[in-house]
Structure 1
């Protein structure tokens, strides 16, 4: 069965700011021991919104539904991912109603995905693939949205954060898009006492090998690797140590929009596809990590 990621879309916060506008920026440089070298780290702009995460997510999802041949009536499951869902139990009920009404969904069962930080969107796509492959569902809408609620953490020791949302449909329909070839996500061997954000070569290598073995694909077959938009030296070290060349890494958005939580890889793919139309059969790797967590998904473009 061919399962496709269709109608990828994203939105950024409506307010764009240069990196030096981050509150208390100079003191933060001193705290982390960084020189003010934007070309080295990939500092450029960040985006913020005055809206909430559901406004962002709904805007992106509307674009996805408008681009897809799958109508809102045919969406039978919806996943909303975020590192932080604000509000109380009553507000959560209203969030569901807001999504249904805004997107005109009729039968989509809703769930929220969190706790896995910047891997939430990728893990949702992998779960959606398995749910469709089982025959239980046909068309699953996936939305991720995040914003910085406390400006004091806009800049931290690994990334400059942007408010953003992204969305896509995972479907069994025969449509143009990214066919999922193989995907895995996993946890550190020692998640309790292990690092809290440090590099984990064993975990990264293990998940990558599982994905490649599941698809009989070699590193050289992969056209582009779409990674987290964290500081450029950190990303390059993580991925090139696995055997990828600098040429294979798509790093353009590190400076353009910074780290968009779990939306990074899809945003990077959309921008790449706009710049260079993917060729039939071209293979891409989506590569994301969070403290103690890693996910890889191998896809190929199909017309």
Structure 2
């Protein structure tokens, strides 16, 4: 679920000056974002509502959830509060589960959380709820050269017994030069291809098998450039609709884009989907097969 209030860029105090400061040579209209969403209340109710919707969609009771995995970007981690997991578990009735938070990988955190959550299935767990969240408290911080930030909480169920998708392979690679702001086109390209190679090798598949790609909702020219650098066809990307409406929702993007696509058509049996995210110093991806 995205933030409950719709905002427009021009509503942000000093937007024109903020945009010129980060991207003086580009017209904002060319970047493809029309509106963004903003949370207006405390975070925990949004998380609880997300958990409830995930469980309701699959007919799973709160008492049947073994693990709760939260994922968020680095900047938000310190804003959550040390009791956030307990508060969510109490309000959502998740009294039989063990919580965890995955972060410090920027917008790639939720894909690492997906890998972690999937790995819990088996002897340890039957049902894992994954919730990806990101928000920006100060509207002035929403304006970046690569994206306009929105607020969102998005979740999914990782389960032995429920779900239309299965995880076939994952990849995660890091580039320290990117973490300290000294990356280059070559280093960004290398980290993306390293992570993608990991995922395809694990799955025993090739890039040509991919039906659709769900990626970070950055500005449209930037997403297209990143896809070109990674050797991906522009027409396979699904991000433009949600990005135009919601902005860049941090590590929740790929999940929002996947849900937007499958809510309209449902998973196509036998299809192979690629979820991916890029961030300064990181690239993460996951291959999902439709059952």
TM-score clears 0.5: yes
* Partners of 1:12 and 1:48 within 8 A in 2: yes
> Is structure 2 residue 4 aligned with structure 1 residue 14?
yes
- Which residue of the partner structure matches residue 7 of structure 1? none
CA distance in 1, matches of 2:156, 2:201: 26
- Which residue of the partner structure matches residue 270 of structure 1? 259
Q: Paired residue for 2:50, among 40, 60, 80?
A: 60
- Which residue of the partner structure matches residue 179 of structure 1? 166
Number of aligned pairs?
A: 286
Alignment of 1:7-86 (within 5 A): 11-31=1-21, 32-38=23-29, 40-83=30-73, 84-86=76-78
Q: What are structure 2's unaligned runs of at least 5 residues?
A: none
CA distance in 1, matches of 2:93, 2:140: 37
CA distance in 1, matches of 2:50, 2:189: 34
Q: Offset of 1:132 from its aligned partner?
A: 1.7
Q: Paired residue for 1:281, among 270, 274, 279?
A: 270
> Is structure 2 residue 290 aligned with structure 1 residue 301?
yes
* Partners of 1:48 and 1:163 within 8 A in 2: yes
CA distance in 2, matches of 1:111, 1:216: 30
* Partners of 2:154 and 2:252 within 8 A in 1: yes
Deviation >6 Å, runs of 4+: 196-199
The C-alpha deviation readout for 1:98-127, integer Å capped at 9, x for no partner, is 212221112111122222221121111101
Would you tell me which structure has more helix in proportion to its own residues?
2
CA distance in 1, matches of 2:25, 2:259: 31
Q: Are the structure 2 counterparts of residues 197 and 127 from structure 1 closer, same or farther at C-alpha, using a change threshold of 3 Å?
A: farther
Secondary structure of the residue aligned to 1:214 is: helix
> Is structure 2 residue 246 aligned with structure 1 residue 257?
yes
* Partners of 2:18 and 2:140 within 8 A in 1: no
Quick check: 292-301 or 273-282, which moved more? 273-282
CA distance in 2, matches of 1:110, 1:196: 34
- Which residue of the partner structure matches residue 206 of structure 1? 194
Alignment of 1:122-271 (within 5 A): 122-133=111-122, 135-173=123-161, 175-188=162-175, 190=177, 195=182, 200-251=188-239, 252-271=241-260
CA distance in 1, matches of 2:39, 2:226: 30
- Which residue of the partner structure matches residue 8 of structure 1? none
Alignment of 1:92-107 (within 5 A): 92-93=82-83, 95-107=84-96
* Partners of 2:71 and 2:109 within 8 A in 1: yes
Q: Offset of 1:33 from its aligned partner?
A: 1.2
CA distance in 2, matches of 1:29, 1:176: 42
The C-alpha deviation readout for 1:235-254, integer Å capped at 9, x for no partner, is 11111222221110113222
Q: What are structure 1's unaligned runs of at least 5 residues?
A: 1-10
* Partners of 2:171 and 2:197 within 8 A in 1: no
Q: Offset of 1:145 from its aligned partner?
A: 1.8
* Partners of 1:189 and 1:203 within 8 A in 2: no
